[in-house]
Structure 1
Amino acid sequence: MTVMFILVVLLAVLVAAFLYRLLILRRGGTAALLRVLPAAEGSGWRHGIIRYGESTFVFFKLSSLRPGPDSRIDRQGIEVESRRAPFGTEFDIMTEDIVILSVTDGSAAYEIALDSGALTAFLSWVESRPDGRARRRRSA
């Protein structure tokens, strides 16, 4: 009987975590694919939702039960290194309309796959960040 009670409680916690994550994802965002580098060719891509904040970019994986974002990138530290089209096995999960950006944030490196509308929004968000010098003057 005790084992059954523990299993029911664990199942309830798992369902609650799933519903909480679903609620977070339903709040909106932009569909994207992201992978942390280094990764093997064509693997490591995760479907998810990205959201832009004033100072950070967050990524929520669709297949995660984590209560918060799975990746967080600081707006001031982000650098877009290059862009490319999908190739090889990436076409299994992407179309030819997708653009893949190589992005760094300090020592972390990522690739983000976005469609044309999401790409415009992302690049606009990056380019409109406040200048680091102006930020230092305000805090002085």
Structure 2
Amino acid sequence: MRILEIAGICVVALLALLFAVFFRRRLLRLGGGTIRVQVRISTMVPGRGWSPGLGQFVGDELRFHRMFSLAIRPKRVLDRRTLTVRERRLPSGPERLTMPGHWVILRCGTGLAELEIAMAETTVTGFLSWLEAGPPRGPGSVSGRPAFGPRPIEG
């Protein structure tokens, strides 16, 4: 009888955990502006290290939440002002087994580090539009020509 009680408690705890994971995912999607993505967390083994999740657009940020997690905070936050797409490729090798065939992998730079993001081909268009539609960069972020003649020489 004692074994059945322990087994019942384990089953109820597992069901509560599954409910919490799916409820969290539903809450994230409720706010709108979410896409299915995979982010490469580890590059130790070629073609491996992909983590499925939800990308949530909030202002100038793309917040990555892992699919099977209870964390309220995002795993990664990508800022539109520093994010650049450097390469676009199709999944190859073991990657073809971990993601759908119509997905595309984007190798991005975030200023200090490189990152790979995978998403559906139809989602890439919206992602690139969001990336390019950002507000103009702040003053001093891009060196441009001086507005009023040559710059004074410091010294």
Query: Normalising to structure 2: TM-score of the pair?
Result: 0.69
SS at match of 1:117: helix
Q: Counterpart in 2 of 1:40?
A: 45
Q: Counterpart in 1 of 2:25?
A: 22
Asked if the contact 2:104/2:118 (under 8 Å) is kept, the reply is: yes
| Pairing partner for 1:131 from 132, 136, 146 | 136
Distance in 2, Cα, partners of 1:36 & 1:108? 12
Deviates more, 1:30-39 or 1:111-120: 30-39
Q: Counterpart in 1 of 2:61?
A: 56
SS at match of 2:105: strand
| Pairing partner for 2:76 from 51, 71, 76 | 71
User: In the alignment, residue 22 of structure 1 is paired with which amino acid?
Assistant: R
Question: How far did residue 26 of structure 1 move?
Answer: 3.7
Higher-Rg member (1/2) = 2
What is the percent sequence identity of the aligned residues? 30
Question: How far did residue 90 of structure 1 move?
Answer: 0.8
Asked if the contact 2:21/2:68 (under 8 Å) is kept, the reply is: no
Unmatched 5+ residue regions in structure 1?
A: 1-6
SS at match of 1:129: coil
SS at match of 2:91: coil
Relative distance call for 1:17 and 1:77 in structure 2 (3 A) is: same
Deviates more, 1:26-35 or 1:70-79: 26-35
Unmatched 5+ residue regions in structure 2?
A: 1-8, 142-155
Relative distance call for 1:60 and 1:116 in structure 2 (3 A) is: same
Q: Counterpart in 2 of 1:3?
A: none
Question: How far did residue 82 of structure 1 move?
Answer: 0.6
Q: Counterpart in 2 of 1:101?
A: 106
**Alpha-carbon RMSD:** 2.7
SS at match of 1:107: coil
> Counting helix residues as a fraction of each chain, which structure ranks higher?
1
SS at match of 1:50: strand
Which structure exhibits the higher relative contact order, with contacts defined as CA atoms closer than 8 Å and separated by 6 or more residues? Answer: 1
